[in-house]
Structure 1
Amino acid sequence: MTRSWIGRRAVVAATFLLALSPLAPAAAAPPVVEAAGAALRPAGAEVVAVTKVAERLTDLSVRSPALGGRVVKVRLLTPDGWNPADRRQHWPSFWLLAGCCGDYTAWSGTDIAKIESLRKVLVVMPEAGWNGWYSNWWNHGAGGDPAWETFHTVELRRLLEKDWGASSNRVVAGLSMGGQGALLYAARHPGMFRAAAAYSASAHPLLNTESINRIMGFFGGQGGDPRRVWGDPVAQRNIWAAHDPYYLAHHLKSLPLYLSSGDGTAGPFDQPDALEADFNRQNKALAAALTQAGAKRLTTNFYGPGTHAWPYWQRELHSSLPILLTALNVRP
């Protein structure tokens, strides 16, 4: 990397290639944080198709005004006894978010359907775009740019609680981009989630120039303008800070939290990985900020050798489940 976005306002292709992971897996302005239930708009999302994929796996096709009328998928791993026709039933919900450059099916490749304790909760795995970053793109509505945050936290939440057996008792977890999403949603919507876990998350994208360039590489994926997501990291720094978990630590400090990442050196499954090394530094910075903010229920597992890969995330999901399920009042 010989040029920085901050210095030249250009994304270097080599940075993007370096940032791609095998996912198919000066002071900032105060971030804006929305209260749970605030700004509940736009309304009117609807389920237009339902597909039973396998035992306990059901896909909903949802038409979303927040996404410009686009139809996207949401996969549900359903609890024993789940019957959406029975409006009296409401299950604790576990939102499980995918990373960049995968889709809503990503977690289905793990062993989640075999985890006995997850037979007691409704697991929600929503589409979030190839590189949607769990955000309302800063000029959403212009040129069809999406409002993923509104789709998930307003439209989908309403649908699930009205028609699909979800209760208001929720936790959230995710990997990489989805780990950032889990932290953002928990921080930006106080009270919406009772606990959060993030595995190899983009936890402090404003950490340094390398981190900024790397995420801009993701933003620019598939030939897009990287400024469409959060704007320019200098001119719109306040928007960036409002989507950087590090700057939202004081909104997370009271929650049970689980943060994990490897250091990017070769682990038992793989080769060295610069992306995981960067995210490891970001997670350690966030952990320090949380500690400074007075977090009392923070659990970290910075496990040393390990890269940006599924064997680690599946393991970390298992490790974090006791914290998440306890927050739901479900016996692990």
Structure 2
Amino acid sequence: MQLRRLLRVRRPRRAGWAGLVLALLLPLLSVPAAGLSAHAAGGPAHEPTRSPARNPARVVAEVPIGDRMLDIGISSPETDAPVKWVRLLLPKGWSKSASRTWPVLWLLHGGGGNHRDWTANTHVEQLAADRDVLVVMPETSGCSSYSDWYNYGAWGSPAWETYLLDEVRPLLERDYRAGTARAVAGLSMGGLGALKFTAARPGMFRAAASYSGAVNPLYRSTDGGLSGPDGVKLGALACLADWKRVWGEPGYPFDTDDPADLRQQWLWKRNSPLEQAASLRGTPLYLSYGDGTTDGGPGWSWGSGDTPPAPSPARCTDPPVHGTQDPIERAVYGMNQQLRAKLAQLGIPATVCASKGGHSWPYWERELVASWPMLMGALGA
């Protein structure tokens, strides 16, 4: 998630200070206990059954941006918003009436982001210019977690997973010549989304990449840093939403000292790439993350031409411990170290680049370029 803007406003001297701020502010955003569903008190509540055939999403606007970019405004009751946008990078020869379809790369934004982030902060237009691929960059919300929200057990909107995979995807395949060969990549909160979608829908995506992904929402820091639930709380704070609406409460060891009090931890696990790692088997995976040390920068830049230099494999130094300069990437480091170990335990291969670095676009663009051949190869593009 892109929480750096929030942290700049409230940059803590110590991680414990951030926890104190959250403890003071988050109750102000919570609904009264009397208004909660009975499910909120704990005990698994089954997710609602949704029919992929039901697709209330409709296009309400199309905005061409040059010859090779199109913004589509979509209205759907699943989003809790009048319109959400999807930005498309169009391949050569594309038209809505074309007799063929194109393979699709989904790029997911981070917390606080939107559909414009990838084109505003990277050279993805140049990367895709000579590739026979349709790039899809959807807008969700700054704290969507790419999930169907729990809403204290009432479910309903926003339902971001349903919206993207059961509404936007078939809409693009029906009306915008998107094919069924798909890959997905995302940064931070979008890295969570890319891997959780791949695990939840085996076979839907041919490859998945996560850059600084929040891949273990139940990550617990043991040395005073941010834990996974802190990220959910901060993200919801930025959205002016109650964080408990997303997945409920994680239970022990967070916010309770009772080991038997697990609350809605089952749902946190349902949305965790770490917990669902076994379902990633068979999909080519790319994981990149930093250690929270930002001295020296990424050591790579696009340069002045249309073709970037290949990032050096020497960047993947595999730091044995995290740094302390970037509190978000410090937590991301711990999450990804755990996922990496889990994949190895399960015998699931993945391309991994752990390096020095922070939670910012120069590192994410570098890793987009590094993972591009894998993503395009999976799509045959």
Question: Quick check: TM above 0.5?
Answer: yes
Structure 1 gaps, min length 5: 16-28
Q: Does the residue aligned with 1:79 lie in a helix, a strand or coil?
A: coil
1:189 to 196, 201, 214: 201
Q: What amino acid does structure 1 have at the position aligned with 2:101?
A: H
Percentage of identical aligned residues: 39
Residue 241 (str. 1) matches residue 294 (str. 2): no
CA-CA distance at 1:223 after TM superposition: 2.8
- Residue by residue over 1:243-294, the C-alpha shift from the partner in whole angstroms, topping out at 9 and shown as x without a partner, is 1110010000221000001100124239920100110110111011111112
CA–CA separation in structure 1 for the residues paired with 2:53 and 2:82? 16
Q: What amino acid does structure 2 have at the position aligned with 1:231?
A: G
- Residue by residue over 1:115-139, the C-alpha shift from the partner in whole angstroms, topping out at 9 and shown as x without a partner, is 1566310000000112111011013
The aligned counterpart of 1:285 is 338
TM-score after normalising by structure 1: 0.85
The aligned counterpart of 2:351 is 299
1:206 to 201, 218, 221: 218
Q: What amino acid does structure 2 have at the position aligned with 1:236?
A: Q
Q: 1:39 to 1:294 in 2, by over 3 A?
A: farther
CA–CA separation in structure 2 for the residues paired with 1:284 and 1:78? 36
CA–CA separation in structure 1 for the residues paired with 2:151 and 2:138? 22
CA–CA separation in structure 2 for the residues paired with 1:118 and 1:11? 47
Q: 1:4 to 1:57 in 2, by over 3 A?
A: closer
CA-CA distance at 1:215 after TM superposition: 2.5
CA-CA distance at 1:68 after TM superposition: 4.3
Residue 164 (str. 1) matches residue 181 (str. 2): no
Matches within 5 A, 1:91-170: 91-109=102-120, 110-116=122-128, 119-139=131-151, 145-170=157-182
User: Does the CA-based 8 Å contact 2:152-2:248 persist in structure 1?
Assistant: no
Matches within 5 A, 1:1-332: 1-2=15-16, 11-12=22-23, 39-40=51-52, 42-68=54-80, 70-86=82-98, 88-109=99-120, 110-116=122-128, 119-139=131-151, 145-208=157-220, 210-234=227-251, 235-269=263-297, 272-296=325-349, 298-303=350-355, 305-330=356-381
| Matched residue count | 309
Q: Does the residue aligned with 2:95 lie in a helix, a strand or coil?
A: coil
Alpha-carbon RMSD across the aligned residues, in angstroms, is 3.0
Q: What amino acid does structure 2 have at the position aligned with 1:189?
A: R
TM-score after normalising by structure 2: 0.75
